């Protein structure tokens, strides 16, 4: 095949949001997931064609949750697997679909770039305080009686979840080591597109002599992506989500979209409480961690991958030196909250979609279940 991509030695770690795999309102069939992934990989292939060396990572929350439900329903027939094994299973499942779809799109563009999925263990500290207070809900809902029985007989931590029932909660420790990092770096240098660290990685701890063992935990995928980006010395970290940019004063009359901001300015926005822990907070935190190491981080919509890396879309967070004069004006632009009101110089006319609007846009009538023949035709490159 003819090599047609532009020449560059720049590397980007791309963290795919959940909407790249499963969208709101969908059941989660293989066909649906393959259909969504096919569209996402078409855009990633365009990045490769533009000269970027791409390292892909992704979420796996719904997939692990489904495996835990399957474990519970079939426990009397098939031995249930622990959470770290479920994480590994979902990494393989999603990695297979990403790898196949991306390879097909690269082939259509006549780009002979190999794609390899690495089952990735990510080490956490056994002394992480998260193990003392599990907080991440996983798996199915149970009645209070069932939950109490599981706590007594299995020693599991359970918590009531917003009136919907009781769920198991597990620790969410910070990632400290991408275990197969040397192999990943070698593959990147050899021109391979690597899919790795899915779902934040398979959580493991190091014991005596450095021996590894799995733990029941969930690693934040965005923090793991930031660590991965630092470890492979990436030039950029791209976090893809379901909104076009990060916003301050989100969903208020003073809402403002953020374009290019320096690290100091973004830290001030975080201190002012603009980013919620359950949505944009972890993404912004991961970006700032990477920027502190000297890179550039971008938060953008899945539909604007190429534009975001060209600086034409999304929110771009840069070190102060790279921001130039912008950093000198940061303090004056930061919104400060007082008496329940937030004040900014001027509200941006661009409005972020509300959660309801985003869901409505994502779910198309008649598209809840996708025919397998159509999904496979698209993923195999059977369309222009």
Q: Kindly state the average pLDDT of the residues 4-29.
A: 83
- Predicted local distance difference test score (pLDDT) of residue 277: 83
pLDDT, one tens digit per residue, over 185-197 is: 999 999 999 999 9
Give tens-digit pLDDT for 255-270. 999 999 999 999 999 9
- The active-site residue, picked from 104, 283, 295, 314, is 283
Instruction: Please say if 346 is a catalytic residue.
Output: no
User: What's residue 327's pLDDT?
Assistant: 38
Q: Which of 19, 36, 104, 249 is catalytic?
A: 19
Of 60, 198, 221, 230, the active-site residue reads 221
pLDDT of residue 318: 96
Looking at the 3D structure of the chain, how many domains does it have?
A: 1
Yes or no: say if 131 and 205 are a contact pair by the CB < 8 Å rule: no
By the 8 A CB rule, do 111 and 99 touch? no
Asked whether the beta carbons of 83 and 217 are under 8 A apart, the reply is: yes
State the burial class of residue 247 (Cβ atoms within 10 Å of its Cβ: 0-12, 13-18, 19+): buried
**Which of the following is catalytic: 39, 61, 136, 214?**
136
User: Which residue in the list 18, 65, 87, 201 is annotated as catalytic?
Assistant: 18
pLDDT at 26: 87
Report the pLDDT averaged over residues 72-88: 94
Q: What are the CA-CA distances from residue 104 to residues 36, 53, 306, 350, 351 (Å)? A: 15, 17, 19, 36, 36
Is 1 a member of any domain?
A: no
The string of DSSP letters for 150-181 reads: HHHHH---EEE-TTS-EEEEE--PPEEEETTH
| 248 pLDDT above the threshold of 80 | yes
Token pair listed for 207 = 């014991």
**CATH number of the domain that 315 lies in?**
3.40.1160.10
Tens digit of each residue's pLDDT (9 = 90 or more) over 290-347: 999 999 999 999 999 999 999 999 999 999 865 554 434 333 333 333 334 433 333 3
CA distance readout (Å), 337 to 19, 305, 340 = 32, 33, 6
Q: What are the phi and psi torsion angles at 269 (to 5°)?
A: -65, -40
What is the chain's alpha carbon radius of gyration, rounded to the nearest angstrom?
Answer: 21
Q: Average of pLDDT values for 95-105?
A: 97
On whether residue 225 sits in a domain, the answer given is: yes
Per-residue pLDDT tens digits for 101-158: 999 999 999 999 999 999 999 999 999 999 999 988 888 888 999 999 989 988 889 9
Is residue 23 situated within a structural domain? Answer: yes
Please tell me the predicted confidence (pLDDT) of residue 355.
37
Q: Is 221 tagged catalytic?
A: yes
3-state helix, strand, coil in the chain (%, to 5): 40, 20, 35
Task: Give the domain range for residue 15.
Answer: 11-378
- Of 370, 262, 368, 376, the C-alpha closest to 320 is 262
In a domain, 6, yes or no: no
Our answer to whether residue 129 is catalytic in this structure is no
Is 5 inside a domain boundary?
no
C-alpha pair distances (Å), 108 with each of 101, 114, 230, 290: 11, 13, 31, 33
- Inside any domain, residue 383: no
Decide: residue 338, CB within 10 A, 0-12 exposed, 13-18 middle, 19+ buried.
exposed
Look at residue 373 in the predicted model and tell me its pLDDT: 61
19 catalytic per annotation: yes
> Does the model's pTM come out above 0.85?
no
Contact in structure between 44 and 55 (CB atoms under 8 Å): no
Phi, psi of 352 (to 5 degrees): -80, 145
Domain membership flag for residue 289: yes
- List, for residues 160-173, the tens digit of each pLDDT value: 887 889 988 999 99
Instruction: Please report the pLDDT score of residue 76 as a whole number.
Output: 93
Flag whether 384 is in a domain: no
Q: What percent of the chain has pLDDT above 90? A: 66
- Contact in structure between 94 and 57 (CB atoms under 8 Å): no
Decide if pLDDT at 4 tops 70.
no
Per-residue confidence (pLDDT) for residue 365, from 0 to 100: 36
């Amino acid at each position: 095949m003819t090599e047609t991509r532009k020449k560059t030695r720049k590397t980007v770690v791309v963290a795919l949001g959940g909407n790249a795999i499963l969208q709101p309102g969908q059941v989660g069939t293989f066909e649906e997931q393959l259909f969504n992934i096919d569209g996402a990989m078409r855009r990633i292939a365009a990045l490769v064609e533009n000269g970027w060396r791409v390292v892909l990572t992704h979420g796996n929350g719904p997939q692990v949750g489904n495996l835990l439900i399957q474990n519970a329903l079939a426990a009397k027939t098939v031995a249930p697997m622990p959470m770290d094994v479920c994480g590994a299973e979902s990494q393989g499942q999603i990695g297979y679909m990403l790898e196949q779809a991306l390879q097909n799109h690269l082939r259509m563009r006549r780009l002979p770039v190999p794609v390899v999925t690495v089952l990735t263990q990510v080490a956490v500290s056994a002394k992480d305080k998260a193990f003392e207070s599990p907080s991440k809900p996983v798996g199915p809902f149970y009645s209070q009686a069932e939950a109490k029985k599981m706590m007594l007989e299995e020693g599991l931590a359970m918590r009531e979840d917003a009136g919907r029932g009781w769920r198991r909660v597990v620790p969410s420790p910070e990632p400290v080591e991408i275990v197969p990092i040397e192999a990943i770096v070698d593959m990147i240098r050899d021109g391979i597109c690597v899919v790795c660290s899915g779902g934040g990685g398979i959580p493991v701890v190091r014991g005596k002599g450095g021996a590894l063992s799995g733990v029941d935990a969930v690693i934040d995928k965005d923090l793991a992506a930031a660590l991965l980006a630092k470890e492979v010395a990436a030039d950029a970290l791209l976090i893809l989500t379901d909104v076009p940019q990060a916003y301050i004063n989100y969903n208020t009359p003073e809402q403002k979209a953020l374009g290019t901001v320096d690290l100091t300015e973004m830290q001030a926005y975080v201190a002012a409480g603009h980013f919620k822990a359950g949505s944009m907070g972890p993404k912004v935190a991961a970006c700032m961690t990477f920027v502190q190491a000297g890179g550039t981080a971008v938060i953008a919509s899945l539909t604007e991958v190429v534009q975001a890396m060209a600086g034409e879309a999304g929110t771009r967070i840069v070190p102060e030196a790279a921001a130039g004069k912008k950093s000198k004006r940061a303090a004056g632009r930061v919104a400060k909250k007082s008496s329940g009101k937030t004040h900014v110089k001027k509200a941006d006319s661009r409005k972020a979609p509300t959660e309801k609007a985003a869901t409505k846009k994502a779910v198309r009538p008649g598209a809840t279940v996708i025919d397998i023949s159509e999904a496979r035709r698209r993923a195999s490159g059977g369309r222009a």
